[in-house]
Structure 1
Amino acid sequence: MMLNTRSVTILGAGIAGLALARALALKGAKVTVLEQAPELREVGAGLQITPNGARVMDALGLGAALRSQSMASEAVELIDGETGAQVLKLNLPGEQLAGQFRLVHRADLITVLGDGARDAGVDIHLLQQITEVTLGAHPPRLKTAQGGEIEADLLIGADGLHSRVRQALNGTVAPFFTHQVAWRATLPAEADIRPMAQIYMGPGRHIVTYPLREGRLRNVVAVEERHKWAEESWSLTDDPLAFRIAFEDFVPEVRRWLDAIERPNLWGLFRHPVAQTWYGHGAAILGDAAHPTLPFLAQGANMALEDAWVLAEALATSEPDTAFAAYQQARKSRVTRIVEAANANARNYHLSGIRRDIAHAGLKLMNRVAPDRVMGRYDWIYSHDVTAGT
C-alpha cells in the first residue's frame, strides 16, 4: 500500500494515537487526529518507559527528546510496607540497556509525541467529541457532539478505555470491577530521592513511587482492595483522609508522603477483555482501545508504542484489510500475555498471612543468591523489539 495515496483519521491524541500519527506521516500518509480535549495534555502523573517502548521512540526519531524529558531508572525495589524491610531489589541492566528504563511524566511524553506528530505534518484537531461511529459497507462515518458528520478513508481508534471504534467493532462488553481502587498524586520530592521505582507492599494494598522531572517531583500511586464500587475515571478526586487511613500502618516515610497530598485522584480498577475483533470495514483499534491493562506491570504505554509501530509498518506494506489482519496476528498473543501477567502481579503484591510470609522469604533468598534470575523472568517483555529489521 502506498500511504501517500491514503488519508488516515485517528481518534484520540494519547500515547497510541500520537505515536501512530507520527509513524504514518513519516511514511507519507495524510494524517488527521481528532481529540475531544481543548488542549493536548494528559491527565495522570508518571509512567515508566521500558526498553521495548524506548526502542519505538528511537525508531520514531524521538528518543533524544524522551531522554531529555525523563529520568533513567536504576532499579525496582520491593519493600515490606509495614516494616520497611527490603524484600527484593532488581538492578536494571546496564551496558546494552543502559538508560533504556525511563521515568517520565505523562504530560511530558504527550508533549514529545505531540510535537513529533506536528513536525511530521499531522493535523491535530481539538474539541472534537465523537458520539457515534458507524461501520459497514461504506467508509467509516463519525458523528460529532455538535451534530456534524465526518467520513474517513481509514479510521483508527486510539480512543482509550471507552472506545467508540471498539464498540462499533465488538459491541458493548461490560468490564469486571476488580474490587481495587487506586489513588494517584505527585508531590514535591525530597532532595535525596533515589532514581528507582519502589513498591511498598501490604496485605490487600500497595504503593508504587518514583521520581519525575529530574527528581523535583515524587509520583505516588496507591492501590487498595475494597468492596465499594468506584468509577473508572481518572478525573475524580477523593478525600485524602481515606487513603491515609488505608496505609496508616505503613512505615513513617510513606505516611509523610500521604500527609502531604491534599487532592488525590481516585479511580476504580476494572478488567477489560482483550478485544475479540481489532479491525473491520476500514477501521482498526490499538492501545487501550484494544487491550486495556491493569497498572501492575508498567506496560500500558509501552504496548501502545509497540502497537503504533507494528500497525504503521503493516499499512506501509499491504492493503488495509491485509495490513489490519497482520497487525492483529502480530500483536494479540503478546498483549494478552502481558495483560495476564499484570493481573498476576496485583495478586502477588497483596498477599497476606502465611502466604505472604512464604513468598517474601522466597524473594529475599532469591535476592541474595540469584537476583539476575528474577530479572530474567521479564526478558520476554523488555528484549522484544518490534522495530527490528526496519
Structure 2
Amino acid sequence: MVASAAETPEIAIVGGGIGGLAAAAFLHRAGLPSTVYEQASELTPVGAGVVVAPNAVRLLRRLGVLDTFLERAVQLQVGWEFRRWQTGTVLSAENLEAACERLYGEHTYTAHRADLLDAIGSAVPAGTVRLGRRCVGLDAAGPRPVLRFADGEVVEPDVLIGADGIHSVVRSTLAEPSPATYSGLCAFRALVPAERAPSFARRPAQTLWIGPDHHLVHYPISAGRLVNLVAFAPAGDYSIESWTAAATVEEFLTEFAGWDPRLIDLIRAAGTPGRWALLDRAPLRRWSVGRTTLLGDAAHPMFPFFAQGAAQAIEDAAVLAACLAGDRADPARGLHRYEELRRPRTSRLQEVSHARSFVNHLPDGPEQEVRDASFRDADPLVANSWIYKYDPDAAIAEAVTGAGG
C-alpha cells in the first residue's frame, strides 16, 4: 500500500553527521523518506575515536548495521580503568567483557567516528544525502519551515530537523540566545598507529589517567590499528572550538610534563594533535517551534566525560522517527512529544558530564585521596544503569502508560 502525501510528510534534515544520518536511517525504517542536506562537498573520515556503549549498540542492532559496525570496532574488555598520573597505579577497573552483556544485553565498543558514521549510513537509501548544501537561514514561523542555502536554493519541507552540530544555524533560529561560556578547559586529540604505541595502550581497554587539572583517555580503534588519545587541560586564553584546529606535540607534552614516562612515550608517538576549547552551554528550555526541531549536539551539546554524545544523538533519532511515524497527520504534535521524551534525559547527561570534570581534576591532597579510595568500591557500570539500560521503545511505551494512568 502506498501512503498518501498527507501521510508521508516531506522531511528535511540539516547535517549529515551521526545524528543526521541516524535520523534518516530510523525514519526510513519507519517508512518516512527524508533528505539530508550536508554542507561538506564530500564525506571524508573526520574526527577520531568514540565509545559506543550498550544503549547505542542496541540501536545499531535495531537498524541492522551492527555487523557492519563490528568489522572495524573494538570490543572493550576493560573500562573505567583509572590510573594515577605520576605512577600509573591502577585505582579501579571494570570488567566489561564479563558484565556488560549480562547487565544490558550488549557489549561496549570503541570505534573511529568515521567507521560508526559509515555503518549508520549503510542503512540510509542512496540519494538521500545531498552534499555541498550549506544552510544560511531559516524561517520557522510559518505553517511550513523555509530553509535557505548559500547557493540561493530555498526548500520548504513539511518537517525540518536541525542536526547541524554545536554551531547549529537551526538552533540559532529556534532557541533563545544562549551564548557559550568559558569552561576553562581545552582538549587535545590524536591518533597513534598501533605499531608505535606502547603495549599497555594497545589493550582492548578504556584507560583514564587522572591528575591535577588534567586527565587523559586512551583506547584502541579501527580494528586495533590505531590508538585514540584524548586529553583535557586548562585552556588558558585558548578559545577556538573547532574539530580542525591543531596544536603541536610539544604543546601536548608540555601540558603533561612530569606524568608517567609511559604516557609521555604515547604522546610522543602521536601525529599532529587537534586542540579545541570546551565551551559550556546550559540545557535549552525549548528545542522545537512548529514543525522544526533539533537533534544531537544542536540540541544538547555536552562535555565528553561520559562518552555519550554520539549515543544520545542516535537515541534522539530513534525517538524522533517513532514520534513522527506515530503522528503523521500532525507532525508538530509528534515533534513536541519527541522533545518531551528526550529533553529531561539529555539535560541530565549534560549536567552530570559537566560535574565530572571537577572530580577528575582534583589536586593531590585529602579530597583526591578520598576520591581515589572511592574508586575501589565503585561499580560505574551498575551506577550508570540509567544511561545504559535505556531503550527508546520502552521509554515511549512508559510515557504512553503514564499519560493513560
TM-score of the superposition, structure 1-length normalised?
Answer: 0.93
| Conserved? CA contact 1:73–1:99, under 8 Å | no
* Partner deviation per Cα, 1:215-240 (whole Å, 9 max, x = no partner): 11000001102331321111101122
Q: Report the Cα distance in structure 1 between the residues aligned to 2:225 and 2:190, rounded to whole angstroms.
A: 14
Q: CA deviation at 1:4?
A: 5.4
Q: CA deviation at 1:41?
A: 3.3
Q: CA deviation at 1:126?
A: 0.3
Residue 108 (structure 2) pairs with residue 101 (structure 1): yes
Residue 185 (structure 2) pairs with residue 184 (structure 1): no
| Conserved? CA contact 2:65–2:122, under 8 Å | no
Residue 386 (structure 2) pairs with residue 380 (structure 1): yes
Residue 372 (structure 2) pairs with residue 360 (structure 1): yes
* Secondary structure of 1:168 counterpart: helix
Alignment of 1:175-214 (within 5 A): 175-189=180-194, 190=197, 192=199, 193-214=202-223
TM-score of the superposition, structure 2-length normalised?
Answer: 0.90
Picking from 98, 114, 139, the partner of 2:121 is: 114
Q: Report the Cα distance in structure 2 between the residues aligned to 1:360 and 1:201, rounded to whole angstroms.
A: 10
* Secondary structure of 2:306 counterpart: coil
Q: Report the Cα distance in structure 1 between the residues aligned to 2:75 and 2:58, rounded to whole angstroms.
A: 15
Picking from 141, 147, 151, the partner of 2:146 is: 141
* Partner deviation per Cα, 1:68-124 (whole Å, 9 max, x = no partner): 221111122000111110111122224434652010100111111122212xx5511
Aligned equivalent of 2:269: 260
Aligned equivalent of 1:153: 158
The aligned amino acid for 1:16 is G
The aligned amino acid for 2:368 is R
Structure 1 residue ranges, 4+ long, deviating more than 3 angstroms after superposition: 1-4, 387-390
Deviates further, 27-36 or 39-48: 39-48
Deviates further, 217-226 or 22-31: 22-31
* Partner deviation per Cα, 1:284-321 (whole Å, 9 max, x = no partner): 11100110000100000110011000000000011212
Picking from 219, 223, 229, the partner of 1:220 is: 229
The aligned amino acid for 1:108 is D
Q: CA deviation at 1:138?
A: 3.5
Deviates further, 274-283 or 29-38: 274-283
The aligned amino acid for 1:261 is A
Consecutive unaligned residues in structure 2, runs of 5 or more: 398-405
| Conserved? CA contact 1:4–1:28, under 8 Å | no
Aligned equivalent of 2:402: none
The aligned amino acid for 1:196 is A
Alignment of 1:322-337 (within 5 A): 322-337=333-348
| Conserved? CA contact 2:100–2:108, under 8 Å | no
Q: Report the Cα distance in structure 1 between the residues aligned to 2:346 and 2:232, rounded to whole angstroms.
A: 23
* Partner deviation per Cα, 1:342-388 (whole Å, 9 max, x = no partner): 11211111011321122113323x2xxxx5x4432111111111134
Q: Percent identity?
A: 32
Deviates further, 168-177 or 83-92: 168-177
Quickly say closer, same or farther: Cα 1:387–1:71, change in 2 above 3 A: farther
What RMSD in Å do the two structures reach over aligned CA positions?
1.9
Count of aligned pairs between the two proteins: 382
Residue 47 (structure 2) pairs with residue 82 (structure 1): no
Q: Report the Cα distance in structure 2 between the residues aligned to 1:194 and 1:227, rounded to whole angstroms.
A: 33
Q: Report the Cα distance in structure 1 between the residues aligned to 2:198 and 2:386, rounded to whole angstroms.
A: 35
Q: Report the Cα distance in structure 1 between the residues aligned to 2:45 and 2:239, rounded to whole angstroms.
A: 21
